[in-house]
């Protein structure tokens, strides 16, 4: 009986991937209802990220598949969210910001998979976990403002600078991977 629960974290990661296109479709429907739906879908997806890690660590349900699908599903959700927000609000979430976030994630993913079958595979760093948390909070903030008053997103320089800081943090969080890989 206990064995069948072992894969719950993996199912949660896969669930996050399934929610991503639904979130995307909802975001492009320009009504308050769909804005709220997309906010709730993103919240559920972000919650699944927390839950899969918590359950995996607490009950030692850690699998090789889970070690790979969890960060990949995070990247799919975060990158897709930033791309959608760029399409909707290109003056606040600019192309160069999304480009550098995607570039960082692709680089780290390649480094991770390159080291996958070695004696010392890359693990998600503390700062990378915090980077993901900050990006999730920032996306939530933008989605809330999207539902309340999208003009605030367009006319607010604070969000632009918060995005800029998120890009910088993304690349700072990539440094431990690059240093580890260089060794």
For 67-97, how does the pLDDT look when each residue is reduced to its tens digit (9 = 90+)? 889 989 999 999 999 999 999 999 999 999 9
pLDDT band at 183 (very low <50, low <70, confident <90, very high): low
**Fold classified for 2-182:** 1.20.120
The residue that leads in pLDDT, 39 or 109, is 39
Mean pLDDT of 156-164: 92
Q: Which pTM was predicted? A: 0.92
Residue with tokens 């607010």, as numbered in its chain = 156
| 78 vs 105: CA distance, rounded Å | 10
pLDDT at 21: 98
Mean pLDDT of 175-182: 78
CB–CB of 108/177 below 8 Å?
A: yes
| 144 vs 117: CA distance, rounded Å | 41
For 100-143, how does the pLDDT look when each residue is reduced to its tens digit (9 = 90+)? 999 999 998 888 777 776 667 677 788 988 999 999 999 999 99
pLDDT at 40: 98
| 117 vs 119: CA distance, rounded Å | 7
């Amino acid at each position: 009986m206990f064995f069948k629960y072992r894969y719950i974290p993996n199912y949660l990661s896969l669930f996050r991937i399934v929610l991503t296109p639904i979130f995307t479709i909802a975001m492009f429907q320009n009504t308050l209802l769909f804005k709220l739906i997309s906010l709730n879908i993103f919240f559920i997806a972000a919650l699944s990220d927390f839950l899969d890690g918590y359950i995996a660590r607490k009950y030692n349900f850690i699998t090789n598949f889970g070690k790979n699908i969890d960060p990949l599903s995070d990247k799919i959700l975060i990158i897709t969210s930033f791309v959608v927000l760029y399409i909707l609000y290109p003056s606040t979430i600019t192309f160069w910001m999304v480009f550098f976030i995607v570039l960082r994630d692709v680089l780290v993913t390649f480094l991770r998979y390159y080291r996958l079958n070695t004696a010392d595979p890359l693990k998600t760093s503390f700062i990378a976990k915090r980077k993901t948390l900050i990006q999730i909070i920032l996306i939530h903030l933008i989605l809330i403002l999207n539902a309340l008053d999208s003009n605030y997103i367009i006319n607010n320089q604070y969000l632009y600078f918060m995005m800029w800081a998120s890009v910088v943090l993304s690349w700072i969080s990539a440094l431990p991977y690059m240093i580890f890989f260089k060794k």
